[in-house]
Amino acid sequence: MPSAPLDRATTQFSVAFGGTPDGIWSAPGRVNLIGEHTDYNGGLALPIALPQRTFAAVRIRPDKVLRMSSDGMPGGPVTIPLADVRAGSPGGWAAYVAGVFWALSEAGYAVPGADVAVASSVPVGAGLSSSAALECAVGAALSDLAGLDLLGTSGGRTELASLCQRAENDIAGAPTGGMDQLASMLGRRGHALLLDCRDATTDAVPFDLAAHGLALLVIDTRAPHALVDGQYAARRHTCQAAAMTLGVPSLREVRLEDLAGALGRLPDEVARRRVRHVVTEIGRVGSFVDAVRAGDWAAAGRLMVASHESLRDDYEVSCPELDLAVDTALGAGALGARMTGGGFGGCAIALVSADHAVQVEADVAGAFASAGFRAPEAFVATASQGAGRDRFGG
Ligand code: ADP
Ligand code: MG
């Protein structure tokens, strides 16, 4: 069995830098239950933090230099003076680490140099937010090591999440919304996190599926997704332009009951479909939370299916692999299933009875084989804890 990522981070640290770290911090990946492409529209989303985590073993340096090493990336440590961190510098994966140092410094915090070694169990590039897990593990470490004390309150964690988002937007150059970092920072075991991205407020919603004989199956389609970045930016742009045409700060301000009128004021069919997805999806998040709180899992499942159809037909961010995973899971008896994450590949989720998860997984694998797709990978996800310190001292 491969060793746990906490141990791998320790080993990575001693191999790359020698000695032991000051401590080890970790943060989870996330999967979104419902509320897709809503975060950058000031809307609602409902992610859970995953059991899979990224670990950062960190030691402060007396100078203002940053050295970074990941056991998931080939090559020796990446070294850069903190003063040289800017958009595109460093490039590649190290931007996600260096960006957090930069964002905290921009926010006025005194940020030290450091040696950072990374190891993770979050699948990279699968839409489960390995990027936010990395940023938030580093952010948690800096909060403790620089004495910022941001982990102790949800306000502090929200601020840290926002700085991690800045790192990803401004230094790594990925124009993502705020959901991933909030989920990774504020996730709670046994709970989903209702995010209101208009004001970054959160509410924990009990989500203990096992207690109800249910399970959440995450199916990584492993579909190659080359189009993602440009398509994501295009969707954001369309939404922004539509909000401007409608004279509102964001599509969040378009109420479901006013949707028909709003659509009538948009000039083209594509914009109408995009807006219809965003506004109905925000409505579905509220309904899903009501269904979960009432224990009405059949209703929750139907809302997942409606979300998938809206993402497939109106927002046009699904792909054949995601559609096949969803259709096969539903055919195998799932209560609900949908694509999750940005789309064009990545993962689907299925709400299934716990004793049925293995069968659904096997059916999806069989359908993928018949279609000639790459073999998918699936796991059952439970709602887990957000970022924190795992160990002080090596
Ligand atoms: P996702 O967040 O869905 O996994 P992204 O494209 O947003 O996909 O982020 C993946 C990128 O984050 C990787 O290409 C790499 O640059 C960085 N990254 C994530 N996890 C690690 C890790 N354990 N070690 C080094 N870099 C990582
Ligand atoms: Mg990401």
Q: Atom 8 in ligand 1: which residue has the minimum CA distance?
A: 125
Residue 226 has pLDDT above 70, yes or no: no
Which of 8, 131, 181, 347 best tests ligand 1's pocket when mutated (most atoms within 8 Å of CB)?
131
Q: How far is the CA of 292 from the centre of ligand 1 (A)?
A: 31
Q: Domain 5-206: which topology?
A: Ribosomal Protein S5; domain 2 (3.30.230)
Q: Which two tokens stand for residue 327?
A: 């259709």
How far from each other are the two terminal CA atoms of the chain, in whole angstroms? 23
Q: How far is the CA of 129 from the centre of ligand 1 (A)?
A: 7
Parse the chain into domains and list their residue ranges: 5-206, 209-381
Q: Radius of gyration over alpha carbons of the chain, in Å?
A: 21
Helix (H, G, I), strand (E, B) or coil at 97: helix
Give the pLDDT confidence score for residue 22 in this predicted structure: 97
With CA atoms as reference, report the closest residue to 13 among 53, 64, 48, 60. Answer: 60
Please tell me the pTM assigned to this model.
0.95
Least confident of 88-97, 174-183, 240-249: 174-183
Question: How do residues 152-170 score in pLDDT, each as one tens digit?
Answer: 999 999 999 999 999 999 9
Q: Locate all alpha helices (DSSP H) within 315-387, ordered by sequence.
A: 320-331, 357-371
Instruction: Give the pLDDT band of residue 227 (cuts 50, 70, 90).
Output: low
Q: Residues with Cβ within 6 A of ligand 1? A: 54, 70, 72-73, 93, 96, 118, 120, 124-131, 134, 174
DSSP per-residue string spanning 264-316:
HT-SSHHHHHHHHHHHHHHHHHHHHHHHHHHT-HHHHHHHHHHHHHHHHHTS-
Helix (H, G, I), strand (E, B) or coil at 191: strand
3-state secondary structure 162-175: HHHHHHHHHHCCCC
CA distance 2 to 120: 12
b/e map 321-346, b = 16+ CB within 10 Å: bbbbbbebbbebebbbbbbbbbbbbb
- Give the number of the atom of ligand 1 that is nearest the alpha carbon of residue 176: 7
- Give the number of the atom of ligand 1 that is nearest the alpha carbon of residue 341: 3
Domain 209-381 falls under CATH 3.30.70.890: yes
Which of 8, 52, 96 best tests ligand 1's pocket when mutated (most atoms within 8 Å of CB)?
96
Q: Atom 11 in ligand 1: which residue has the minimum CA distance?
A: 131
CB-count exposure of residue 261 (10 Å: 0-12, 13-18, 19+):
exposed
- Phi/psi of residue 94, nearest 5 degrees: -65, -20
**Whether residue 180 lies in the annotated active site:** yes
Q: Considering 71, 144, 180, 314, which one is annotated as catalytic?
A: 180
